Structure 1
Amino acid sequence: MVNVAVRKGLLGTEKKFQLSYRERAKPSYQISELDSPLTQNLAGMLNFVGDLQSTNEEVKGLLMAKIKTLNFECAVLCSPLVRTMLTGFIEQVIQQLDAIVFAQAKVIIGKSKVQQFLDKNLDLILDLNGKCGIDDLSVHINSQYFDAPPENANEAQLARKVGSEKILKAHEVKVNVQLPVIVAEDEVKLRAPHEVAERVTVLAITTSVAFGGLSGEGALNYLAQYKLQEALTPRERAFLQNPTEELKSQETWKCEGIWTLMWALGVVDELSFPDTLANLNDIPVEQYPIGENKNPRDFIESMTTLRDKSEVLNTNDLYYRMHWACVDARIARQAMKAVHPGVVYERHYALNWLINYRNQPWDEVTCDT
């Protein structure tokens, strides 16, 4: 920590400046252990962001992913006059480091009247009120921390990559041959069938509220009746307690998660190419987890198997590469005509949860590209 105080003349105004710095005990792209004060702070920040409602859930997810990649932290405190003098310098440092800023309310560089996160361009990522001012946030990970060297990839991983690229080319979706292989099959443990069925059931209930079939209070009572309250995530519980129109609109997208997980359970025969929205009406009423005079526990207990792990990973690999193409098109401000980006994102999200990607719970799933 550095402290500087300067006063011009005996009665002059004192100019104060304080700079503190701390870093991780071991550089990483994730928070796997709380081995330093910084990782403890980052873990707290991650939970803090996770509890925020957002007008753009995808950008919120990218912010959470970026927080996990932070390896050092600088805090600057200074008097107003010094702050004005240093603003230009601070902006240059932020830009060069591809940093994010957690700023207090009404600071010079701020974009909100409340606490806020800013990107390297000092544009608003997310504030405490959930307001988001950008459409994308770059998350860069040094390959030495993340990508398995190609020479260590097995034949199945390489074949999966090639197979996905072939499908994308056939549908005229841009291919990035530099993207690495995904995790090997022997390193993956899929979620248990009953856990997947329970997740589908909760999603069916929250989307029913989103579409007006149930009230938030009615959904909470329904969950309590069948002892499913513990299956709710914190964000889902907050939604049911206050289902605003904006949140309802966001929750309707979870139909794609239902469709994807029902495919994993074998209820849906084909996931289908993501160029159109899934139609849950195509799922037979008798095979849907909720409905009139139905006990959702019957559905959960009846789901005892999942699709083969290799098939799930093939699909996850495809959506990983497809999602990259969607992000690339958005950054380039190009229309994505071959697939529906929203459908791709939601299915990739569900698939990452299904394969236990980074052991992330449902609310914290990231879709890295």
Structure 2
Amino acid sequence: MPYFTIFASLNDISGVGNWIQEVFGNGFKLTGTPEETVIQPKGWFVRNKITIRVSSEDTNPDYFDNNIPGMMGFYQSIPFEDEELQYKVLTQISVINTMLAIETEKEYGPDYSKLFVELAGKAHGICFMPDGTLLDREGKVIVTPDGKSGASDFRPYACTRKIRGEDFSTEEGLARKQRTISYLKEKQIPYLETLPELPPLNELAVKSREEIARRAVALLIVIQYACDAEQEEDLGESRAFVKGMLKKFGVSDELTGFESDLLEAAEPDRQAAVNLVWQYEAYWALLWALGLLETLDFPNRTCDCDFAIKTVSSCRSFAEFLDKTAMRRPEHILDEADKIYRLHWACVNARIQGQPAPAGLNESVVMERRRALFWMLGHRDEAWDDISMDT
């Protein structure tokens, strides 16, 4: 039978069933258990059943003890043309603790492969093909069996459990977690006692005031283009205006890969534009960290876009904007990050249970604030487009 295997590094596997539901919920009938899900296409003429078996170091320690060393040895023996890439691949393999083994009754085509890769993306996993080719979570080739590098700009991903140990705790992290839980109790918001602590401040690489300000200005400007793309406005004129503003403020080089791709696309993907417009909420958190907002309000409603725009549009240069800012203390940013982390869990938990988010929380607002707060802290050294949303 044809196979497709996803390897990942996860704190636990409790969310995998939800990811499978998100990927295969439309057009498929799902049965079985979280450990073994059977996925049957709906339709008279399509009969290629999928079975996904999920295991981890906790549920099947013998598999990982017996097979991960062999996998490590295989990729150590391959003559990589890029030694740095080999180091990254071996680092990734060393922190693998979860496997999603996908089996189909018949050979699968690109449509199925796309769904499998989407599932890998949700798990921050790598895809192992039967011939030994490794794909990243976007389906791009990391390396082929003969050691040739693919198109992937691959970086290893490890869960906090593998990096820091399952029971890692610090006095600072525990105190911060307990303060957040007290806050959640006051608002009658559910919480997970075992959700890990965030790292203490001395383990983080907090961005500078100028780095945050540059990200804020570049993001706000490119969001204006995304707004036009979403509404299918005259994109030629909009693109020229946005590029001019990026140049005026000296932040053209601050765009992320996702933002640059959207700006340069002949026909921008509308959903990608919508996703970028939502980053107004991430921008709002950047403004708060720069001292341009008195408080970061409870994330149950969207931000004031008019005010958000005026903070930059009222300035003639980046230097003028930077002069208006006053960086908040890093520990205050970390406090907010811990709060948003646990609020995000409450949103995800409610969604899994088929219930509305507690206290009127807006999960999209929560996720975008988390993006900005975690990025500013340098959490896991993740890039803006790659901030993990695991809970």
Same fold (TM over 0.5): yes
Q: Any idea what the Cα deviations from partners look like across 1:243-283, whole Å, max 9, x if unmatched?
A: 34322211111110111000000001111001111113345
Question: How much has 1:332 moved relative to structure 2?
Answer: 2.7
**Larger-Rg structure:** 1
Match of 2:390 in 1: 368
Report if aligned partners of 2:281, 2:302 keep a CA contact under 8 Å in 1: yes
Matched, 1:171 2:187: yes
Report if aligned partners of 1:207, 1:252 keep a CA contact under 8 Å in 2: yes
Report if aligned partners of 1:182, 1:317 keep a CA contact under 8 Å in 2: yes
Report if aligned partners of 1:191, 1:356 keep a CA contact under 8 Å in 2: yes
Match of 1:112 in 2: 111
In the alignment, which of 211, 214, 221 is matched to residue 195 of structure 1?
211
Question: How much has 1:304 moved relative to structure 2?
Answer: 5.6
Report if aligned partners of 1:254, 1:346 keep a CA contact under 8 Å in 2: yes
Question: How much has 1:109 moved relative to structure 2?
Answer: 4.2
Given the two structures, how large is their TM-score scaled by the length of structure 2?
0.60
Matched, 1:98 2:99: yes
SS in 2 for 1:349: helix
Question: How much has 1:171 moved relative to structure 2?
Answer: 1.8
Tell me how far apart the structure 1 counterparts of residues 158 and 389 of structure 2 sit (CA, whole Å).
Answer: 13
Match of 1:83 in 2: none
- 1:1-369, aligned counterparts within 5 Å? 22-23=71-72, 37=86, 39-40=88-89, 98-99=99-100, 108-110=107-109, 112=111, 117=117, 119=119, 141=159, 143-147=161-165, 149=167, 152-154=169-171, 156-212=172-228, 215-242=238-265, 243-283=268-308, 285=310, 288-290=311-313, 294-302=315-323, 305-338=326-359, 339-369=361-391
Report if aligned partners of 1:353, 1:362 keep a CA contact under 8 Å in 2: yes
Q: Any idea what the Cα deviations from partners look like across 1:31-70, whole Å, max 9, x if unmatched?
A: xxx777373499xxxxxxxxxxxxxxxxxxxxxxxxx678
Question: How much has 1:230 moved relative to structure 2?
Answer: 1.0
Tell me how far apart the structure 2 counterparts of residues 141 and 127 of structure 1 sit (CA, whole Å).
Answer: 19
Q: Which runs of 5+ in 1 are unaligned?
A: 1-19, 27-33, 43-67, 73-95, 130-138
SS in 1 for 2:390: coil
How many residues are treated as equivalent by the alignment?
275
Question: How much has 1:349 moved relative to structure 2?
Answer: 0.9
- Overall identity of the aligned pairs, in %: 23
Q: Which runs of 5+ in 2 are unaligned?
A: 1-67, 76-82, 126-136, 141-156
Report if aligned partners of 2:72, 2:90 keep a CA contact under 8 Å in 1: no
Question: How much has 1:25 moved relative to structure 2?
Answer: 10
Given the two structures, how large is their TM-score scaled by the length of structure 1?
0.63
Q: Which amino acid letter does the alignment assign opposite residue 236 of structure 1?
A: E
Cα RMSD for the two superposed structures = 3.8
Report if aligned partners of 2:346, 2:358 keep a CA contact under 8 Å in 1: no
**Kindly tell me: are residues 299 and 366 of structure 1, through their superposed partners in 2, closer, same or farther at Cα, counting changes over 3 Å?**
farther
Report if aligned partners of 1:217, 1:240 keep a CA contact under 8 Å in 2: no
**Kindly tell me: are residues 209 and 37 of structure 1, through their superposed partners in 2, closer, same or farther at Cα, counting changes over 3 Å?**
same
Tell me how far apart the structure 1 counterparts of residues 379 and 103 of structure 2 sit (CA, whole Å).
Answer: 27
Tell me how far apart the structure 2 counterparts of residues 300 and 24 of structure 1 sit (CA, whole Å).
Answer: 53
Q: Which amino acid letter does the alignment assign opposite residue 112 of structure 1?
A: D
Report if aligned partners of 2:219, 2:255 keep a CA contact under 8 Å in 1: no
